[in-house]
Amino acid sequence: MTTFAYRLATCLPAWTAVALWPVVGAAQMDEALAKSADWTPPAAVEVEARALEWLNAHKADDAMRSRFAEIWAEDLPAETTLLQKLASTFALVDPRAAELVALCAGPRDALIAPSMPWLMDSSVDPFEAHNLRLLYGRWLVHEAMYDESLVYLASLEPKDVVAPATLLFFQGVAYHALVEKEKGLAVLRRLLDGAEQSPRRYAAVARLMQEDLDGVEPDTLDHIARRMDDIHRRLDLGRAGPKVRGIEDGVIDSLDKLIKRLEDQQQQQSGGGGGGIQSGAPASDSQIVGGKGPGNVDRKDIGDKSGWGSLPPKQREEALQQIGRDFPAHYREVIEEYFRRKAATEKQP
């Protein structure tokens, strides 16, 4: 969803996003358009005037002013182009800005994103620093470096930048990718409150992300699958530190709870299901029982984080069959992958 979200919003033509309107729902978009946003995008002519003022304050020469005129030659550029024009203006004077603009013009060539501490330095003119933080954060999102992007984007407000809808959209994409539900919904709500003054593709994709995040519930297979995808992404980026291990521990905890719930359901079923009262008759051969002996249900010891990954094959298959009945088929693959990884870990000395 996340890769789809930013590629759709930034790479495909506008008519493609308009085609999503039936998916989003006309009534939902009308509701979003009717809301009042707490942010307003600045007019392009105002941004150009402020950029020229910044340039003059930095003692630009005639060659720089000539180049400035070429950069801003187009009338009323789109929001994303406006940000790019402003960044190019900063690059005329500031070598650090020029380096950053060049970096963001292409794909990354390293697993570790370059650090830009000067963007967070209070001594740098906020007009330059804030907008370049948005430029860099947007690039980091495109490169699937969501944690790194939020270092630069999370504390920015729409009033800080010349492209407020772009800021809110890419904050939303990063939170969506990291399954940070509350923060993601808050940002997307602000973006959709101003849908009428946002690029239409942003509003359409933001609505889809909002509905997707709204349905995420903790410790469900959906939540587990998303975090496992995030682990894979981090490992692909060469990340294997404490943060990744913490996410892995959280996934195992969620799987513990999920398997425990399934075992409890199986035990209730084997007990007859009559208001939680166990039947005194022996269980039939077709029932899944949790203990030994006729009608005596022993609770299984699922162990701690490092124990129940080695469940006996029969018991493991019973849990997978229950998952197959209760959830879409692809979730079984998530659990099977978990057991494979668990078995490989436990075999290591």
pLDDT at 323 over 90: no
Q: How far apart are CA 305 and CA 255, in angstroms?
A: 9
pLDDT at 124 over 80: yes
Residue 17: strand pairing partners: none
Query: Can you give the pLDDT at residue 263?
Result: 76
Query: Can you give the pLDDT at residue 91?
Result: 96
**Maximum mean pLDDT: which of 244-248, 265-269, 270-274, 292-296:** 265-269
Query: Can you give the pLDDT at residue 79?
Result: 82
Comparison of pLDDT for 215 and 285, the residue scoring more: 215
Query: Can you give the pLDDT at residue 332?
Result: 58
pTM of the predicted protein model: 0.65
Query: Please, which residues have CB within 8 angstroms of residue 43's CB and are 6 or more apart in sequence?
Result: none
pLDDT at 48 over 50: yes
Rg for the chain (alpha carbons), in Å?
26
Comparison of pLDDT for 225 and 35, the residue scoring more: 225
pLDDT at 333 over 70: no
Give the confidence band of 342 by pLDDT, cuts at 50, 70, 90: low
Lowest mean pLDDT among 176-180, 206-210, 314-318: 314-318
Q: 191 and 169 in contact (C-beta within 8 Å)?
A: yes
Q: Is 274 helix (H, G, I), strand (E, B) or coil?
A: strand
Comparison of pLDDT for 22 and 134, the residue scoring more: 134
Query: Can you give the pLDDT at residue 343?
Result: 62
Query: Can you give the pLDDT at residue 255?
Result: 74
Q: How far apart are CA 278 and CA 297, in angstroms?
A: 9
Comparison of pLDDT for 340 and 327, the residue scoring more: 340
Query: Can you give the pLDDT at residue 270?
Result: 72
Which of 112, 348, 341, 324 has the alpha carbon at shortest distance from 238?
112
